[in-house]
Structure 1
Amino acid sequence: MTGFVAIGDSFTEGVGDPLPDGTFRGWADLVAAELCSPDFGYANLAVRGRRFDDVVTRQVEAAIAMGPSLVSFSGGGNDALWRGFDLAAMRDRFDRAVARLRASGADVLLFRFPDMSARLPLPRVLRPRIVAMNDLVTEVAERHGAYLVDLFDDRALDGHELWSADRLHLNPLGHRRVADQVLATLGRAAPLPTPSPSGPPGTGPALLADLRWASAYLAPWLRRRLTGRSSGDGILPKRPVMTSGFESPSGPPPDRRPG
């Protein structure tokens, strides 16, 4: 069986697009529902909170063993948020991981990260790292002939409308937007129109909203970092086995083309 295997962290797991049973759907499930057939399967090995080396160690070889024709690979975003982030080391590790996936015969789908600095603290620290990571991903995609989904230049993702309250994860509309971008990149849908920006980047909500966000989301994130814990501790991949004829789980249907 040929098929699609999605690997990565919370972005690919679908965090921010909850289903009634407490699990997550996300862009990869939405893409799989368009691609899958009785002869084309889908698996999703992504787990929230995983850093790059975790993704490579726990997911890359497992994905290759399934013999997919397409693998989506997104990793390194969690690493870029840590102090002491080593871009040169990341470049070498990223290149080796994509080379391994391409050597298996699979097509590979990579992503240029959205500009998270528009919503998070310390934009002067974050934005250069995001730009550097995106340059790295672009180089690797060109070197190995991978598909590249450019989320950084998607102006719809600059505002708050497509993001969850935690400002880190896409909401259902955001996941639908990414799914449509992926399908367009794969030639399975028309390119999305470029929306008008909702406002200049960095124009966040009022100070009170920022303080509430810091208390509800930033403080717990910092505590996990300080104690060496992860949001993915104890979490297993939601779709560890390739299943053919996949249909997207039900949930509130998002507008197909927000923005």
Structure 2
Amino acid sequence: MHSTISRLIVVGDSIAEGLDDRWPDSEVYRGWADLVAGRLAQDQPELEYANLAVRGKRLDQIVDEQFHRALAARPDMIALFGGVNDLLQRGHQPVVIEARVDDAVARLTAGCPLVVVFTVGDVSRQTPMLRALRPRLAALNAAVRRAAAAHGALVVELEHLVGMNDLRYFGADRFHLSAAGHRRVAAEVLRAIGVEPDPRWSAPLDGAPVVPDWRSHLGWIRRQVVPTVTSRIRNVVVGRTPGDGFAAKRPVLARVSGSSTDLTPAA
């Protein structure tokens, strides 16, 4: 399957952009998409890759701001990671989310032969304060599966991925993936399209899983939740949305290094 992939484009939100996996000595985020592109370039040196994802974007914004450019480039593969930001909106409505998912997948599959979409894991497994999100996450995953089945997209299943409830796979905010988490996701994407990943990316982590106690939960609330909520309130007051002021890290198709671990950051 991968032998026909000469143009890869990734669209979506912060997980697709690569938060929280920075390149060494760089402010640029790497993430699963860069790793996938680097691995594909080992087999396909002519591979061109663009990443149009921008942190904070909802599905409707991703469609409006990223899809035209992505489809105009006539890629062989598009990967879409998005939808979680929609779940965090005030006045969230499952029927609206389902319509957005179906519309997004339908648009992509109409213009690209290989479209990859994702279910998402339950971020509340190790953080009881987030359990209210469970029904929303389940509804999003169900919508992704239905849209993929209806329109012929390929689903990368992260919802029940063994071990991904370990907090070492997540950054300090417990939402974004750590470097280890991005490598796990990259391995799953590659396997889904028939490419063997670096075996280290899905190897069990050394040591015991992190089991947070009440002190760590309180510290997480103080250092992560309160600033995030405060920022969201401030944005509402001034009429900003998350992602305003940020641009895609790799907006133009370009060749990548043939190393899965040394993909050159975008200029």
TM-score by length of 1: 0.87
The Cα offsets for residues 154-192 of structure 1, whole Å up to 9 and x where unpaired, read as 021112121111111111111000000000001112799
SS in 1 for 2:194: coil
Contact 1:25 1:249 in 2 (8 A): no
Matched, 1:34 2:39: yes
Q: 2 CA distance for matches of 1:239 and 1:65? A: 16
Partner of 1:257: none
Contact 1:3 1:68 in 2 (8 A): yes
Q: Percent identity?
A: 38
Equivalent residue for 1:237, pick from 235, 248, 258 = 248
SS in 2 for 1:161: helix
Q: What does 1:61-100 correspond to in 2, within 5 Å?
A: 61-100=68-107
The Cα offsets for residues 120-157 of structure 1, whole Å up to 9 and x where unpaired, read as 45444211111111011011111111111000110211
SS in 1 for 2:79: strand
The letter for the 1-side match of 2:138 is V
Q: What does 1:171-250 correspond to in 2, within 5 Å?
A: 171-189=178-196, 205-228=212-235, 229-247=240-258, 250=262
Structure 2 unmatched runs, 5+: none
The letter for the 2-side match of 1:5 is I
Moved more, 206-215 or 165-174: 206-215
SS in 1 for 2:101: helix
Contact 1:156 1:194 in 2 (8 A): no
Q: 1 CA distance for matches of 2:115 and 2:139? A: 20
Partner of 2:26: 21
**What's the offset of the Cα at 1:82?**
2.4
Q: 1 CA distance for matches of 2:212 and 2:60? A: 35
In structure 2, do the counterparts of structure 1 residues 159 and 60 end up closer, same or farther at CA, with 3 Å as the change threshold?
same
Bigger helix fraction? 2
RMSD: 2.4
The letter for the 2-side match of 1:32 is A
Equivalent residue for 2:61, pick from 48, 54, 57 = 54
Partner of 1:164: 171
**What's the offset of the Cα at 1:194?**
9.6
Structure 1 unmatched runs, 5+: 252-259
Partner of 2:11: 7
**What's the offset of the Cα at 1:250?**
3.9
**What's the offset of the Cα at 1:119?**
3.8
TM-score by length of 2: 0.85
The Cα offsets for residues 199-242 of structure 1, whole Å up to 9 and x where unpaired, read as 7xxx9512221121111111111012212245533111000000
Q: 1 CA distance for matches of 2:220 and 2:160? A: 26
Q: How many residues end up aligned between the 2 structures? A: 247
Partner of 1:255: none
